[in-house]
Amino acid sequence: MTISRRAFLKYCIGASTLLGLDVSVVGNLNKLLADELTMPNIVWLEGAACSGCSVSLANLIGDETDQGPTDLVDLLTSYVNLSFAKTFMSATGDAAVSQLKDATAGEFILVVEGGIPTAFDGMACTVYTADGQEVTMSQAVSEYASKASMVVCVGTCASFGGIPASGSNPTGVVTVQTLTGIPTINLPGCPAHPDWIAGTLAAVICGQTPELDDLGRPTAFYGKTIHSQCPRKPLYDQGRFADYLGQEGRCLFKLGCQGPYTYADCPTRGWNNGHNYCVQSNSNCIGCVEPGFPSPTLITRRSHRRE
């Protein structure tokens, strides 16, 4: 895909703004750019996943500043070269596999959604058939992660294992980093927020590396606890706690809210075009962006019952 210089710059500035990066760095790129650029391919592999992060990306909506993509169609037609993505691509069967081979022959960014099962020799998850052989997620990630210019893990399953790796971890799910030792940018969330995905991909395409915390998460999105940004924080300070789920105007801490231990910008960013987020709907934060998700008790008292 080729893209005009103007669009690319707009995009980089949008990404930089979103991630709190220095916009002047982008300005310097100006001199280096030809009139048209070939965008790097993005290869999106799905392992032990639910496609919730792909669906979440489809909820992308640009903000009023008009920087960066306005929605999914704009993202796909004007900004990224999504060469292989099972959920959205037209090519199917052998044609899809050819596209994967072509896209990974040159420079590409690997996006991984879902965990990587290792039980049953990886056969709990195969991703395609090539030359008559089923290729497991484990084999595909091993092959492509080392060739990619960057690996971005989208969602908690890819980043930390998530639900498929919880409990007895029935299929031996591991992460890209555990499997290959290759460092990754992690965008956990169940699902990941579309802004987190689009903003990070934008930065990576522009050749910028966002500042990451020690879990590989961009600090621009995962820098503060839910609790510290929560509109109900004053209620916590006043000791006004909810007795049951659904109680309005109370802090949900004593019902098991994970807000104090969970780093994400949900309260300020909002979900689904800013309409809502978990705590605002009187449900506690379940800590879905943290490595410990899901904890054995997602809420200490889910029922509405008073003691």
Partner 1 sequence: MSTISIIDPVTRLEGHLKIELEISQNQVMNAKVKGMLYRGFESILRGQAPENAPLITQRICGVCPVSHGQASIQALENVSGWIPDINERHVRDLILGANFIQSHILHFYLLSLMDFTPGPNLSPWNPSWDVDLRPGLEGVMQNLPAAVEARRQAHEMGAIFCGKMPHAASYAAGGTTAKITSKKVEQFKNLLSSIIEFIETRYIPDVETLQAVYPDYYQIGVGPENLLAFGAFHQDDNTLLFQGGTMQNNEIQPLNSFALESISEHVTNSWYAGHESLSPRYSETIPEYPKEGAYSWVKAPRLFDQPFELGPLARMKINNLYSGGISTMDRHMARSREALVIAKQMDLWLENISGGTGHDTGYAQAAGFGLGLTEAPRGALGHWVTIGEDQTIANYQIITPTCWNASPKSDDSVNGPLEQALIGTYIEDKAQPIEAVRIIHSFDPCLACAIQ
Whether 266 and 260 have beta carbons less than 8 Å apart is answered as no
Among the candidate windows 156-164, 174-182, 208-216, 227-235, which touches partner 1 by CB under 8 A? 156-164
Measuring CA to CA, which residue among 132, 95, 114 is closest to residue 49?
A: 114
Instruction: Assess 306 for contact with partner 1 (CB under 8 A).
Output: yes
Residues identified as active-site:
50, 53, 157, 190, 227, 230, 251, 257, 266, 278, 285, 288
**How many amino acids of this chain bind partner 1 (CB under 8 A)?**
93
DSSP, collapsed to helix, strand or coil, labels residue 57 as helix
Instruction: Assess 110 for contact with partner 1 (CB under 8 A).
Output: no
CA distance 295 to 265: 20
| Site residues (CB under 8 A) for partner 1, limited to 246-265 | 246-248
How far is CA 12 from each of CA 1, 103, 208, rounded to the nearest angstrom?
17, 23, 9
| Site residues (CB under 8 A) for partner 1, limited to 192-221 | none
Comparison of 31 and 305: residue with beta carbon closer to partner 1? 305
Instruction: Assess 104 for contact with partner 1 (CB under 8 A).
Output: no
Comparison of 178 and 247: residue with beta carbon closer to partner 1? 247
Instruction: Assess 86 for contact with partner 1 (CB under 8 A).
Output: yes
Among 15, 18, 19, 85, the residue binding partner 1 under the rule CB under 8 A is: 85
Give the angle 283-284-287 at the CA atoms, nearest 5°.
135
CA distance 196 to 130: 33
Instruction: Assess 305 for contact with partner 1 (CB under 8 A).
Output: yes
Instruction: Assess 95 for contact with partner 1 (CB under 8 A).
Output: yes
Min dist. Cβ of residue 15 to partner 1 (A): 20
Instruction: Assess 92 for contact with partner 1 (CB under 8 A).
Output: yes
Angle, helix 5-19 to helix 194-205, in steps of 10 degrees: 120
Cis amide prior to 296 (ω within 30 degrees): no
